[in-house]
Amino acid sequence: MSWPVSDSDLSKLGQGVLAASKGAITSASVAFGELTLAGPSERVVEALELLRDQYGFQQMIDLTGVDHPDRHLRFDVVYHLLSLTRNQRLRLKVQTDEDTAVPTVTGVYPCANWYERECFDMYGVFFSGHPDLRRILTDYGFHGHPLRKDFPMSGYVELRYDDELKRVVYEPIKSVEYRNWDFLSPWEGAEYVLPGDEKAEAK
């Protein structure tokens, strides 16, 4: 089979995958020279097995999430695949919400183990059947999921080392005290001597 290089070749590949998937993949689109497939989350294992075994996408190179907080199915879980034999990449998207787990694909691509943990840690997406679903980038006591769009920029807690307790402690974020900044630059004519200017006057 020749390597897909044009949009028409990619579209033909997408239509072939759609026909062969028996509903595990429900849409295929080509944009910016890339093929994107989508399907129901409960059949993601079946879809990836098809792409690996029948279409030669031997490697998963990434798994990530995208947050759409205004949508009922808030999260896209995105699988990026690479075929060494076809010299081709594609992505598969499935959708889920905050409570519905996506089946783990560690049985199809073992490297998904850490990728799924990262997606769980950053977005709070659950993966059913995962052998060890726990945080991987943040601390075990961390509250919230940092890549969600509604996660506050400063977080929920701050940590410091307590010398009396001899350990790190977590505390609620304290508001930053108001500071009366002077934003005048030297050429705007401040009415006082700017730090360092007194040396120039002395000369």
Q: What is the CATH number of the domain that holds 29?
A: 3.30.460.80
Residue with tokens 């001899």: 166
Residue 1 lies in a domain: no
CA–CA distance, 34 with 18 (Å, rounded to integer): 16
pLDDT at 2: 44
Our count of domains for the chain comes to 1
List b or e across 128-164, with b for residues whose CB sees 16 or more CB atoms inside 10 angstroms: eebeebeebeeeeebeebebbeebeeeeeeeeeeeee
Characterize the bridge pairing of strands 27-31 and 34-38: antiparallel
pTM above 0.75, yes or no: yes
Characterize the bridge pairing of strands 102-103 and 127-128: parallel
CA–CA distance, 30 with 7 (Å, rounded to integer): 7
Residue 60, H or E segment:
strand 59-67
Could you tell me which residues come within 8 angstroms of residue 54 by beta carbon, excluding any fewer than 6 positions away?
Answer: 20
Residue 2 lies in a domain: no
Among candidates 41, 75, 62, 55, which has minimal Cα distance to 13? 55
CB atoms closer than 10 angstroms to residue 56 = 15
Tens-of-pLDDT digits for all 203 residues of the chain?
A: 445 468 999 999 999 999 999 999 999 999 988 999 999 999 999 999 999 999 999 999 999 999 999 999 999 999 999 999 988 999 999 999 999 999 999 999 999 999 999 999 999 999 999 999 999 999 877 888 999 998 887 777 888 899 999 998 888 877 655 555 555 555 566 666 666 677 766 65
Give the residue numbers spanning the domain of 35: 7-202
